[in-house]
Amino acid sequence: GQNIDQPTEMTATEGAIVQINCTYQTSGFNGLFWYQQHAGEAPTFLSYNVLDGLEEKGRFSSFLSRSKGYSYLLLKELQMKDSASYLCAALDSNYQLIWGAGTKLIIKP
């Protein structure tokens, strides 16, 4: 079957760096997405990776290893507003998005 695994919850300190991991098993692969979802709000797009390597976008970076079925989202210089759930989603061979349950990130002062 198709599956996305990511930690349920993580805690980090304001100003620090945190890495949220995601492993995926899909029927074919056409890319991996990261979304941010604040409590009670809609998910918003953060990043898309389809080739191996690191994509940097400001304080957020996303990494992909296709051979390992692995991705991570790296958040630097954490701010309190980064407290949210981070959803990993993989695009399978039929171009359907397979979603993880999300990682709830708690930022402490």
Partner 1 sequence: DTAVSQTPKYLVTQMGNDKSIKCEQNLGHDTMYWYKQDSKKFLKIMFSYNNKELIINETVPNRFSPKSPDKAHLNLHINSLELGDSAVYFCASSPPSDRGPGELFFGEGSRLTVL
Tally Cβ neighbours within 10 Å of residue 94.
Answer: 9
Instruction: Kindly provide the residue ranges of all beta strands, DSSP E only, lying in the chain, ordered along the sequence.
Output: 3-5, 9-13, 18-25, 32-37, 44-49, 53-57, 60-65, 70-75, 84-91, 97-99, 103-108
Question: Applying CB under 8 A, does 24 fall inside the site for partner 1?
Answer: no
Question: Applying CB under 8 A, does 102 fall inside the site for partner 1?
Answer: yes
Question: Applying CB under 8 A, does 85 fall inside the site for partner 1?
Answer: yes
Question: Applying CB under 8 A, does 42 fall inside the site for partner 1?
Answer: yes
Nearest approach, Cβ of residue 24 and partner 1 (Å): 14
Question: Applying CB under 8 A, does 83 fall inside the site for partner 1?
Answer: no
Q: Would you say 14 or 45 has its CB closer to partner 1?
A: 45
